[in-house]
Amino acid sequence: MNWRKKKARKIAWERIQILFELAMEEGKKGNFERARRYVEHILNLSTKYKVRLPREMKMHICKRCHWILIPGKTSQVRLKKGKVVIKCLNCGAYKRYPYKK
């Protein structure tokens, strides 16, 4: 990988982090459409520059409708049989993550 691609990936990663923080802030304020737009920008940047999103970031993004998942506002979090179950309140999609007791 040449230095230009590395630099482009680094800049893309910095933009992704900033956009994620902005999306969380807008989601907490109740501006869900603007937060959704930020999430779409995040997903576009990650696919264009081949930047892998960390698990913590993926847990807060709905794969189906691209909403930011904030527990209590846009998502419902439950613990069932060794799994954390996150339900999107916009589209009804579920995410399941294992946890150890």
| pLDDT digit string, tens, across residues 21-40 | 999 999 999 999 999 999 99
What are the tens digits of pLDDT across the range 48-88? 999 999 999 999 999 999 999 999 999 999 999 999 999 99
Question: What is the CB neighbour count within 10 angstroms for residue 51?
Answer: 16
Scanning 1-101, the segments in alpha helix (DSSP H) are 3-29, 32-48, 55-59
| pLDDT class of 99 with cuts at 50, 70, 90 | confident
DSSP 68: B
Distances (CA, A) of 77 to 7, 58, 81, 86: 38, 15, 13, 5
Cβ atoms of residues 49 and 8 within 8 Å: yes
Q: Using an 8 Å Cβ cutoff, are 88 and 69 in contact? A: yes
Walk me through the domains of the chain, giving residue ranges and CATH numbers. 3-98 (1.20.5.420)
Q: Is the pLDDT of residue 100 over 80?
A: no
Write down the pLDDT at residue 1. Answer: 73
The model's pTM is: 0.90
Question: What pLDDT score does 101 carry?
Answer: 64
